[in-house]
Structure 1
Amino acid sequence: MDNMLKALKSNKGNGYAARLMDLCEVHELPVSITDFLTRVYEDFPKPAPVAQPGDERVEEEDVEDLVGDL
């Protein structure tokens, strides 16, 4: 425990804690962390994927409306 605290303190601010948590299984994390993350994900749900340009098929009439008469 002491070595872990020393490592976390000496690497504060460079993402070491996140990398350490990433190595753990959910059941290995403290309840305080899992409760906090559960609340964050409830308050800020993952957004739906955004369609990339060109993913949606455009009807020919819509193209004319956008471009105008050629």
Structure 2
Amino acid sequence: MTGRVKWFDENKGFGIIKEDSGREVSVHYSDIEEDGYRSLSEGERVEFELAKSFGSLRAAKVKRLDPFQ
């Protein structure tokens, strides 16, 4: 799946991704696949998988996409 970061709170390590289909899913910093400090920026394009967490959907295996895609 692909989408855009709606918002991400670096202090809490949590945010929301809006899928291209319009649905919103939560994202946790631990699901961002990169080395070092893991954070996302508002409006950033991402690719991810959906996973269930406590009865709701969340983004997992989140990867940044080339901004020109």
The structure richer in strand per residue is: 2
* TM-score, normalised via structure 1 length: 0.18
State which structure, 1 or 2, has the greater radius of gyration over its C-alpha atoms.
1
The structure richer in helix per residue is: 1
* TM-score, normalised via structure 2 length: 0.18
Q: Which is bigger in relative contact order (C-alpha 8 A, separation at least 6)?
A: 2
